[in-house]
Structures are given as C-alpha cells and as structure tokens.
A and B are shown apart, each in its own frame.
Chain A
C-alpha cells in the first residue's frame, strides 16, 4: 500500500505510473503538516478549484490534482473544429502551468474513493489521503438509452460528446460525405452537457455542406425533447443560412426513437427509417463513474449538491463541481463548471484555513455559432435559493438582431475561450 504526500510527490515529479505503484512513499504523517485537498478530474471544474485554492491559500493547503490526461482537449469550442473554424490543436491544453503554480498534478487515473478512510485509490494501487475532496469527473454516457447503441457502435456512429478521438472521427466522416448523403443526429434528453451544443453542431454540419457546394444533402435531428435551448434563434438562423437543409423533429413528429443500427446506418423511429451516411448519436448522460461508484449520485445519475457551497449532499468532506453535479437552474457547461469551482474553492479554503467565506454567486454564458460571424448567446446569474442554484437574472439573443451584433458575439466568444482556458489551465 502506498500513500502520496506533497513532499513525496514533489520528490517524484514526473514519475511514471509504474513508479507510482511501487511503495516508495513517506508515511502519512508527513502530509499532516498542511490540510490536504485532492481534486479528481482536471477539466474546467477540477483544474479551476485546484488552481484557485493553491493561489489563494498561498501554500497553506496541500493541493493534489489527479488527472490521467497529459493534454486536455476541451469539449467546448469543439463544434468550431467540426465547422472548420479551428484546428484541434487549438483546443488542447496541458498542465504545465497548473503544476508551476504549485498544484501537485498526478497523471494517473483515480479508480475509486474510500469515503470512510478519506482517501482516493489510484489505478496503480497507490492511495492519496484527503481532508477535502473535489470530484469533477464530467459525464459518462448511458449507452443503453438509445436501443442498438453501444460503446462499440460509437466507433461507427460517433457521439463526439467527449472530446478527442470521437470528435476527430466525426469530422473524418463529415469530410467523407458525398452530395446527397444524409446526416442524422439523435439528440440527447435533458439533462445533458452543453444544452445548445447539438444544435450548434447541426449548424456546423450545414455550414460544411454549404461550403462544399452540396445541394442535395440533408440533416435530420431526431430529438427526444419537445423544445431546445435558443430554439427560435437557431431555427431563424437555419432558415436564413441553410434553407431546407436542417429538419428538426420533436417527439410528437417522430413518435419515439426505436433503434439505431451501426451495421446498416439505419435509425428507426415511429415515423420512418432513416439511412444515415453520418449518424451522430448522442445518448443520455450521467455523472462520471467514480462519482457514482462512491455513492455521490442519486437516481438521476447526477450528484446532489448544497447550493451554498457545491458540497455533496451525501458527504460533507466532498465537493462535486461541473457536469457531474445537479446544478439547479444552471446548464452543464464549462462556464458553469468554472463558476461553481470558484465557489467550492472559496468554501474549501475557508474550512481548511479559517479564511472568510462569502455568499455563493454563480454565472454562465453560452455562445453558439450558427454560420460565419453569426453567433448567438444565452446567459444568466445564479444564487442559492429554494434549495437549489436558482437563476436570478438572464438574457438571450433575439431574433432579427443586426449582423454586427452577431459578429461581435463571435469575437467575444473567441476572447472568452482564451480567457477561460487561461483561468483553468494557466
């Protein structure tokens, strides 16, 4: 059995997984000098908590971030890669600056959480003790939520709802389409990561078809939801830029999704059977496995939290931020995760160093690109209320807005991306 403390980890910075699994570490008493925060998951939620606690506590808290990926590819802005507006490299970020800022980054998969002993087990058999734990694993996909779909089927019908290889596969298939080929998207049910995401993606599909000069290809969205985020303005944009190309079907129209077949490329609904040259099947979602295995999730598959602190309602030593949490009125987005992380960081620091705590405040904005220089946005402020994170004010782009407003939105979204990735990864 091996235990990682800050001192021992620093001695072994850059150590391999094999090294980490060997019993080289000092006893846990070394780690007792400072309170210990461990963060599982280095996305917009987890990495933000790690960086803010480290920075604001000025070394008073020993912060460890457990994230197996050397480079994190952001899911946010990946639709712009689909549309050809960015390359994949621009979405990749490493942890060099997180590490330089004083966070112990452990490049290993966390396998489980022992809540009784307050420790995280790593894939190699090591364990990391904590005083406070932040769980930010993002989402897992419910493969069986779409009949016929599976992890294997995703290699033919990509979901591309987790960044990296799946997004590359989706783009490869998109670029291989011939004029007249049909794209079918199966949209996910609520609640899911990035509510406007499927509809921005359909816009990007249409943009690529238009750019290729294709006249005969069509996009069908089969949606289990009766409405979707920014619906009126998306539909206005589709009619303006891609008339007759995108057909959105609500459950009343398609009658229910019966099955998908990766061998034939067929998607069956009550209404019809569609033959897809590109099928983008985005299934239902839930909190990442490690959170569910630790008993932090409820029947919904997501983790209930205290809106005043982002603390788990199940375990007062654990915080859940980002897509794995039940965020009340907030959408599951990188912006939300980053915002929730700052509340959690402030509360954790207050609990571990007796610094001041302030009332929780949250915010979010989601930008979506419909066509070049035609970008729409939705956003809100949130505070604890009625036992949840409750929206207090908000806004959404309007139909018929001037082109310069939409163009400015796009520039703003690019500036926001640069800002948030610097805030998350340094």
Chain B
C-alpha cells in the first residue's frame, strides 16, 4: 500500500495533468471551432454547399474564386459574415451571403471544413 503522502503527490500530479489536458482541449476546441459542431445541421450544410459548387469546385491557389475546401470553420464563418455585412466587396458573394442565416453559415462551415475537393 502506498504511503499517504506519496498518494497525495500522485493525486496532485494527476490533477495538474488533468487540468493541463482540459486546458489544452479547451484551447484546441476553441481555436479549431469544434464546439461549433454541436447542434449544427450537417445535412443542411451539404444541401447549401451545392450552390457553392457552381463556382468553387475547381478553385486553385491563383484563382479569383478561392478554394474553400478544408477551410477552418472560424475563417469560413468570418468571411461569409463579412460578405453578408458588405465588408468584403464582391457583389456575387454579397448576394449569396445576404440570405444565409447564422445557422446556414455554421452548417456550411462545418461541411467545408472536412469536405474534399472533387477530383
């Protein structure tokens, strides 16, 4: 049987590890945007994405129409909201974004974060 003092040290180390893990996890979740997956309508995102595919399916690095496949949710959401607010200039995207609700944008962002560009 472990002495009481040693058991206390192990418990303390475990607590530190647990807190570090929890903090790191929270950091990853916030930065990566994973908590945003909760409650998001994935099927809606897939349907709405079909509108994007008309232009974005073959985008390359030097395209005027950017690649949005694999884009992080945070960046995706920020860009679409900027178009919706007309803070970004392209009228095609402003028009498309103007009818997207916050839930629509979240659904699209989740879809494109993991969607693979068609080959």
- For residue B95, CB closer than 8 A to chain A, the reply is yes
The answer on a CB contact under 8 Å between A416 and B55 is yes
Is A415 touching B98 in the complex (CB atoms < 8 A)? no
Nearest residue, chain B, Cβ from A378? B91
Cβ of A380 under 8 Å from chain B: yes
| Most A-side CB within 10 Å, residue of B44, B48, B56, B91 | B91
B16 to chain A, nearest CB (A): 47
Contacts of B44 in A (CB 8 A): 358
Which residue of chain A is the closest to B98 with respect to CB atoms? A393
Q: Kindly state the separation between the CA atoms of A339 and B99 in the bound complex, as whole angstroms.
A: 16
- Majority SS of interface residues in chain B? helix
In this complex, the interface size class of chain B, counting residues with CB under 8 Å from chain A, is 20 to 34
Question: Are A395 and B94 in contact, CB atoms less than 8 angstroms apart?
Answer: yes
Contact indicator A419/B92 (Cβ below 8 Å)? no
Please tell me if B57 contacts chain A, counting CB pairs below 8 Å.
Answer: yes
Does any Cβ of A come within 8 Å of B103's Cβ? no
| A415-B63, A415-B65, A416-B65 known; A381 vs B57 contact (CB < 8 Å) | no
With most chain A CB atoms within 10 A of its CB, the pick from B46, B50, B95 is B50
CA distance A377 to B44 in the complex (A): 29
Q: Tell me which of B47, B50, B58, B98 contacts A419 (CB under 8 A).
A: B58
Chain B residues 53-83 with CB under 8 Å of chain A are: 53-59, 63-65
Give chain B residues whose Cβ lies under 8 Å from the Cβ of A380. Answer: 95
Residues A393 and B50 in contact, CB atoms below 8 Å apart? no
Chain A residue at minimum C-beta to C-beta distance from B65: A415
Q: Smallest Cβ distance from B65 to chain A, in angstroms? A: 4
Report how far A423 CA is from B47 CA in the complex, Å: 14
User: A420 at interface (Cβ–Cβ under 8 A)?
Assistant: yes
- A335 cross-chain contacts in B, Cβ below 8 A: 54
Contact assessment for A346 and B47 in the assembled complex, using a CB-CB cutoff below 8 Å: yes
Overall SS of chain A's interface = helix
**Which B residues lie within 8 Å of A423 (CB)?**
53-54, 57
Question: A343 → chain B, closest Cβ, in Å?
Answer: 9
Min CB–CB distance B47 → chain A (angstroms): 5
- Which residues of the other chain, B, contact A338 by a CB distance below 8 angstroms? 54
| Inter-chain contacts of B85 with A (CB < 8 A) | none
Closest-by-CB residue of B relative to A396 is B91
> Within residues 35 to 51 of chain B, which ones have a CB less than 8 A from any CB in chain A?
43-44, 46-48, 50-51
Q: A346-B50, A361-B48, A363-B95 are in contact. List 20 more A-B contacts (CB 8 A).
A: A342-B50, A363-B54, A379-B91, A379-B92, A381-B95, A383-B99, A392-B99, A411-B64, A412-B92, A415-B58, A415-B59, A415-B64, A416-B54, A416-B65, A419-B58, A420-B54, A422-B58, A422-B118, A423-B53, A426-B118
Using a CB–CB cutoff of 8 Å, the interface residues on chain A facing chain B are: 52, 56, 335, 338-339, 342, 345-346, 356, 358, 361, 363, 365, 377, 379-381, 383, 392-395, 408, 411-412, 415-416, 418-420, 422-423, 426
Q: Which of B's residues lie within 8 Å of A, judged by CB?
A: 43-44, 46-48, 50-51, 53-59, 63-65, 91-92, 94-96, 98-99, 118
